[in-house]
Amino acid sequence: MLKEELQKIVRGEVLTDEDTLRNYSHDASLFTVKPQAVVYPMDKADLEALTRYVVNNKALNPNLSLTIRAAGSCMAGGPLNKGIIADVTKHMNAVSEIQGENVEVEPGVFYRDFEKLTLEKKLILPCFTASKNLNALGGMIGNNCAGEKTLRYGKMENFVLESKVIFSDGNEYLVKPLNKDELDVKINQGDFEGNIYKNLYSLINSNKDLIDGARPDVSKNSAGYYLWNVYRNGIFDLNKLLVGSQGTLGLVTQAKVKLVPVEPVSKLFVIFLPDLKHLAELVNVILRTTPESIESYDDATMKLAVRFFPEMLKTMKAKHFFKLLLSFIPEGLMMINEGGIPKLIVLVEYAGKTEEEVNGKMKDLEEKLKPFRYQMRLTHSVEESDKYWTIRRESFNLLRKHVRGSRTAPFIDDVIVKPEYMPEFLPKMRQILDKYKLVYTIADHSGNGNFHIIPLMDMRKKSNIEVIKKVSEEVYNLVSFYKGSITAEHNDGIIRTPYLNKMFLPEVLDLFQKTKNIFDPQNIFNPGKKVGGSIEYMCKHISLE
């Protein structure tokens, strides 16, 4: 019945068979949520028709909703829902000709394909994630993505210049920055679009102090609705709210994004820390040298690399295998001489236009770090740098392959505190994880104080649901104590929406709900994310497989 009704109003395919519904019940998160139908919209007209259909039939079918989905690589359950899932990767994946340093993209284009086109012009979208070979532009916008180069360039919110968005009246609108005169014109339109601007402006203007006080005091945040970003320096820009809203306020059909030139030379500076006592001071010294990125991984990650060393080498696909093998000898000798594996390995990447420029930055850092008396390594080739990046990126995949009966369990995977709190915060967080005997690795964006922790758990044990609840509660209390954010990059989704009260006052959560009501009064777009989530719903939909 639903399939036939939807097929009458859209040109794209409509699927309701069990295999398809089962496939779209999952993303990269812990959850299983079975939809009623999956649609591959052909274009914006299909998405407009779907929106109107859900609005007109919501009363008859309360579970009816519309959730836009791209690659399905979200670890928070962002694109999962019980209504209609609109997968935009099949048909809505166009990329315009690059004009200067700007380009228009549809939400379904995979980043890996997009990057090939931009690199031809020696340009890049620098907020790409570690999963850049998997994700798509729509998800990157929906989650307000970030990654290795965010320290220098910032998050996705800095790169969306304009967008085309379908609001809950079923019409597509151009969203771009407005000055006060242009905003006044919008407010006085008297139509659905005008009322969004009117009501949101009133909400922000009437609660300015509360909203400004709610802004998380960290360099990266994907939690909540970014009301503090919308009206700044005389410019009112809805894109600053829509980016990171996980498709709960409208459906992005196209975005104009800004690119940056690729630096032709990059090298890695590696620092081995025997303890965390001077970590904050170290990061501050490094930041003054304007690196491209500061990344790190812990001793547990390094132990995995040692344990599965031959397999790790194979993943590097080096041209000169034995030369690469020999290149690890200095690290091996250092561990023997220094009494074991370092507590933290810090990777500092520098980029520039010439070898001389990059080498100068690395020598400058080397001089600045001499008082710390740490073991350091300046890499001299791409292959040499790649061995450290591979350990950071691939260690968890190795662990997942070798631990039987367990699966990835991302639920506290994206916390962030100010870098100055890292030496205190990290040991306390590890105490919580160790108390519950979790197997895990930790990698982080040290320059931002952003930690990625993804335990391995046997989710066939129902008792692990209680562990997830308890660990979440304790870790997020710790994050709150240090005035951080429970999600720097991966967004709220099903897994973190119930815990937004750890970060925001009840009055701020109420503003989030009012924001949702302004854009989506019938709650048709991706319900249960950002607002309306619960721990009960979260636990009920954790997959016990």
Structure token digits, residue 377: 């390594």
In 288-408, which residue ranges form alpha helices assigned H by DSSP? 299-307, 309-316, 321-327, 329-338, 355-369, 382-402
Is the Cβ–Cβ distance between 158 and 127 less than 8 Å?
yes
pTM (2 d.p.): 0.93
Q: What is the reported pLDDT for 144?
A: 98
Rounded to 5 degrees, φ, ψ at 414 are -155, 35
Helix (H, G, I), strand (E, B), or coil: what is residue 346? strand
Q: Measured between alpha carbons, how far is 540 from 82 in angstroms, rounded to an integer?
A: 13
Contacts of 184 (CB under 8 A, 6+ apart): none
Across 319-345, b (16+ Cβ under 10 Å) vs e yields eeeeebeebeeebeeebeeeeebbbbb
Q: What is the reported pLDDT for 319?
A: 47
Which amino acid is residue 187, in one-letter code?
Answer: I
Q: What is the reported pLDDT for 330?
A: 59
Is the Cβ–Cβ distance between 410 and 75 less than 8 Å?
yes
Structure token digits, residue 206: 């009437």
Contacts of 366 (CB under 8 A, 6+ apart): 269, 376, 378
pLDDT of the chain along its 545 residues, tens only? 899 999 999 999 999 999 999 999 999 999 999 999 999 999 999 999 999 999 999 999 999 999 999 999 999 999 999 999 999 999 999 999 999 999 999 999 999 999 999 999 999 999 999 888 899 999 999 999 999 899 999 999 999 999 999 999 999 999 999 999 999 999 999 999 999 999 999 999 999 999 999 999 999 999 999 999 999 999 999 999 999 999 999 999 999 999 999 999 999 999 999 998 999 999 999 999 999 999 998 887 777 777 766 666 666 554 445 555 555 655 665 665 565 789 999 999 999 999 999 999 999 999 999 999 999 999 887 777 877 877 776 665 666 666 667 888 999 999 999 999 999 999 999 999 999 999 888 888 999 999 999 898 999 999 999 999 999 999 999 999 999 999 999 999 999 999 999 999 999 999 999 999 999 999 999 999 999 999 999 999 999 98
- The alpha carbon torsion through 471, 472, 477, 478 (nearest 10 deg) reads 60
Is the Cβ–Cβ distance between 242 and 388 less than 8 Å?
no
Q: What is the reported pLDDT for 413?
A: 95
Q: What is the reported pLDDT for 417?
A: 97
Structure token digits, residue 481: 């104590």
Sign of CA dihedral 111, 115, 118, 123: positive
Q: Measured between alpha carbons, how far is 330 from 46 in angstroms, rounded to an integer?
A: 59
Place of tokens 């721990």: 535
Distances from the Cα of 9 to the Cαs of 4, 52, 296, in angstroms? 9, 10, 50
